[in-house]
């Protein structure tokens, strides 16, 4: 939406906040060319817009440390959290987002814990059953630890190693 606003108003600042400083000069040049090209008719306008959008997204993704995978059609599902998080920002009330995430985590942790308890009592001579227990045990413990660490030490924006 910020890229669309920039093209509609001729003001690149709408989108620059989404671009790392290192990409600003490149995007400025692209924007200036796109503005000129948009005046050459409907077809040129569409090509210029797509070119600007692609480069805006590419530079934004680069700032996240992520690769550019192309333009995605509007309306693709972002999952259940992103719309709730964006709504919270609009309304100033994070309660629905927090409640949804806490409920989701609670349900998942409960499921993982029950799986550990279901597999805990196995015959020592049944190695396959013992392995099921270890898999459930590790799933419970490492997932719990991972959740805790992501809360206490969240990755930086764009850190895709977590």
Per-residue pLDDT of 73-97, as tens digits, reads 766 677 899 899 999 999 999 999 9
Query: Is 136 inside a domain boundary?
Result: yes
Q: Domain containing 57: what range?
A: 2-64
Q: 162 versus 85: which is more confidently predicted?
A: 85
pLDDT for residue 72:
78
- 59-68: per-residue pLDDT in tens? 998 988 888 8
> DSSP for 34-66?
HHHHGGG-HHHHHHHHHHHHHHHHHHHHHHHT-
Selection from 158, 160, 128 nearest residue 61 by Cα: 158
Q: How many domains does the chain have?
A: 2
Q: Does residue 46 share a domain with residue 89?
A: no
The neighbour count for residue 3, using CB atoms within 10 Å, is 23
DSSP category for residue 17: T
Same domain, 50 and 85: no
Across 20-38, average pLDDT: 95
Q: Measuring CA to CA, how many Å separate 68 from each of 60, 63, 80, 89, 137?
A: 9, 11, 23, 27, 37
Choose among 94, 25, 85: nearest CA to 55.
25
- Determine how many CB atoms are found less than 10 A away from the CB of residue 51: 14
**Looking at 64, 90, 118, which one is the last position of a domain?**
64
Is 145 a residue whose pLDDT tops 90?
yes
């Amino acid at each position: 939406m910020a890229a669309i606003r920039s093209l509609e108003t001729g003001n690149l600042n709408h989108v620059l906040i989404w671009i790392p400083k290192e990409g600003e000069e490149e995007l400025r040049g692209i924007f200036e060319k796109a503005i000129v090209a948009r005046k050459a008719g409907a077809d040129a306008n569409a090509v210029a817009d797509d070119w600007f959008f692609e480069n805006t997204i590419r530079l934004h993704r680069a700032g996240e440390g992520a690769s550019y995978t192309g333009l995605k059609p509007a309306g693709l599902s972002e999952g259940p959290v992103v719309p709730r998080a964006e709504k919270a920002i609009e309304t100033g009330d994070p309660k629905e987002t927090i409640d949804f995430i806490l409920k989701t985590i609670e349900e998942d942790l409960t499921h993982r814990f029950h799986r550990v308890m279901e597999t805990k009592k196995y015959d020592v001579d049944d190695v396959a059953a013992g392995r099921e227990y270890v898999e459930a045990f590790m799933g419970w413990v490492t997932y719990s630890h991972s959740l805790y660490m992501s809360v206490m030490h969240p990755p930086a924006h764009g850190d895709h190693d977590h």
